[in-house]
Amino acid sequence: MDWREGEFRNCFRIYQSVATRYEQQQDYCTASYFHDRCLEVSLDFKYFEGEALAHKGLGFCEENVFNKHEAMG
């Protein structure tokens, strides 16, 4: 709903908090999905800080599932 209304920062914040919860449970595949959603929101609304944070989260998840080449990307 926030995405449709243009409240991208709130939408980003919610996706990021869900991703963090999955990271705490060590479910990195699901956390990666939510970081990817953060990236989509950031790209759609040209939110550069959010884009950087989403890439950082994706790299963290890839690193924890021992996918080093994806993590470096």
> What residues make up the domain containing 7?
2-72
Enter the DSSP assignment of 73. Answer: -
CATH number at residue 63: 1.25.40
Q: Which of left, alpha, beta for 7 (phi over 0: left; psi -120 to 50: alpha)?
A: beta
- For 63-72, the pLDDT digits (tens) are 877 665 564 5
Q: How many domains does the chain have?
A: 1
pLDDT of residue 3: 55
pLDDT in tens, 7-52: 778 888 999 999 999 999 999 989 999 999 999 988 988 889 989 9
For residues 69 and 1, give the distance between their C-alpha atoms in angstroms, rounded to a whole number.
35
